[in-house]
Chain A
Amino acid sequence: MEEIVPKFNYIVVVILMMTGLWSMLAQSNLIKKCIGMAIFQTGIILFFISIGAKNNASIPIVAKAPLGQAHAPEGSQPPAKPELTAAKAKAYPDPPDVNKLTNPLTQILMLTAIVVGVATLGVGLALAQKVYQQHKSFDEDEILENQTK
């Protein structure tokens, strides 16, 4: 138990991936294969997000500093439009504490993966629909029988 509890997330990831893989292999219905593919994908996304999570950390958005505590940044920046820069930079402390924010890198990889996943789900569904137009069936076994006839 002491071994398993700190790594519970990986076990759930593996269970989800096994479920998706089994459904892609064994289900004979094409739509269910597509749903299984989506479940497999969420397993992978869960893996990435959970390795990026940190204990006692907040969301990866830099919180505004309480008023009065902020200090102006160093003078290395070109003082092109000083009023804008100063007003903007004063509101935030620099730099934020690394251990207080969750890892943003894994999140952005997965954010794009979700939208791309919907697009690929659409491609899968379109293929299934085309197969249905040709064979009048979603069932793999029936399609094979129709072809061998």
Chain B
Amino acid sequence: MAELPIWQYDTLFLIAVVLFGVTALTMQNLMSAAIVFGAYSFLMCLIWTAMGAVDVAFTEAAVGAGVSTVFIVATIYNTGASAKPRKPRVGFKLFAGAVAVATGAFLLSALPDFPAWGDPKSPVNSTVAPYYIENTIRDAHVPNIVTTVLADYRGFDTLLETAVVFIACIAIYSILRVDSAKSTVDEPDIIAAPPAYDPTDSLIIRQASRIMVPFMQIFALYVIAHGHYSPGGGFQGGVILGASVILLCISFDLKFVLRQWTEKKIMLLTALGVLIYAAVGVACIFMGGDYLNYNALDPVLPGDMAFARYYGILLVEVGVGVTVMFSMIGIYIILASNGRFNRGL
């Protein structure tokens, strides 16, 4: 047997991840499916780490542990929790399975043409990427290559991805938002009446989240600011900030959070993040450079030419963090309150 190309963990993880994926889809109860999907994302994070993709692993950790499972739970809360067992349409399922297998076989037929796993000389690794690896330190003084490529070399890409998150937030609002005064949406009958406030009820949970939330927010700010030197950046820090507020929503009450963060504030701040990003680009034009070419900002920022790019990256990451944070909060609140923005999970 040939020697495994990457070390031992990976193969075990890859087998386990397929098991988890299949398990998540065979669960009858939707809550179970959501929980198993959370475990699937834990394993995915470990796989990214084992392959050396620390930034991706950080994003997956923040997203999988804090946000995506909670979204699914919030949706199930407002609807029914079960996939009702019906008479299975075996014929249709077999047909779909045949289509899927045919697609897979078609993809596998290209297997001999792919480069071997972990080959440093493969086309992906030997064309564009070496330029980034060699020049990052000289161009921007940022040791974390991923951050530089994300916010500087491929700044347009990230700007538009941030805009996509913003647009998704708007889309969810326009799909689900109803005016609670003229609301025709009635509660699903399975939900019991919201319990009256009882301080002994969840005292431990409340106190624990009261301790954890400030640490989360400080840690998230550290992640955004320290993304130049270690894995992290706007996306990860934004998701952690969003998750901290989501934790407040869950452990206290939705009303408790909505006293501070009204709907208007959340939407305005979501837009503000994209605006910060775009404004940095426009400022570059006014200073006489190209759009998002941070070198042009040199006269107003401390340090030499490369430090202008260093601080430009920091400004842009702040914008990304603001957008991601508030869009996560907005999406959670609107999913959990069934579009009424007043009460919910």
A18 touches B101 (CB 8 A): yes
Query: When chains A and B are docked, how far (Å) is the Cα of A128 from the Cα of B26?
Result: 19
Select which of A2, A3, A28, A132 is within 8 A of B79 by beta carbon.
Answer: A132
Identity of the chain B residue whose Cβ is nearest the Cβ of A112 in the assembled complex: B161
Q: What is the minimal beta-carbon distance from B146 to any residue of chain A, in angstroms?
A: 5
Query: When chains A and B are docked, how far (Å) is the Cα of A25 from the Cα of B25?
Result: 12
Identity of the chain A residue whose Cβ is nearest the Cβ of B165 in the assembled complex: A119
Residues of B within 8 A of A80 (CB): 303-305
0/1 string, A6-26, CB within 8 A of B gives 1:
111111101111111111011
Identity of the chain A residue whose Cβ is nearest the Cβ of B99 in the assembled complex: A25
What's the dominant secondary structure at chain A's contact region?
A: helix
B55 within 8 A of partner (CB): yes
A72 within 8 A of partner (CB): no
B contact set with A: CB distance below 8 Å:
1-2, 4-6, 11, 14, 17-18, 21-22, 24-25, 30, 33-34, 37, 40, 44, 47-48, 51-56, 59-60, 63, 67-68, 71-72, 74-76, 78-80, 83-84, 86, 89, 92-93, 96-97, 99-101, 103-104, 107-108, 111-112, 114-120, 122, 124-125, 128-130, 132-138, 141, 143-146, 149-150, 154, 157-158, 161, 164-165, 168-169, 171-172, 175-176, 185, 229-231, 235, 239, 302-307, 324, 327-328, 331, 334-335, 338-339
A contact set with B: CB distance below 8 Å:
1-3, 5-12, 14-23, 25-29, 31-32, 34-36, 38-39, 42, 45-46, 49-55, 57-64, 73, 77-78, 80-81, 84-85, 88-89, 92, 94-96, 98-99, 101-112, 114-116, 118-123, 125-130, 132-133, 137-139, 141
- Can you give 16 A-B contacts (C-beta < 8 A)? A7-B111, A8-B4, A8-B14, A10-B117, A31-B76, A81-B302, A96-B134, A104-B132, A106-B124, A108-B154, A111-B56, A118-B67, A122-B172, A122-B331, A126-B335, A132-B80
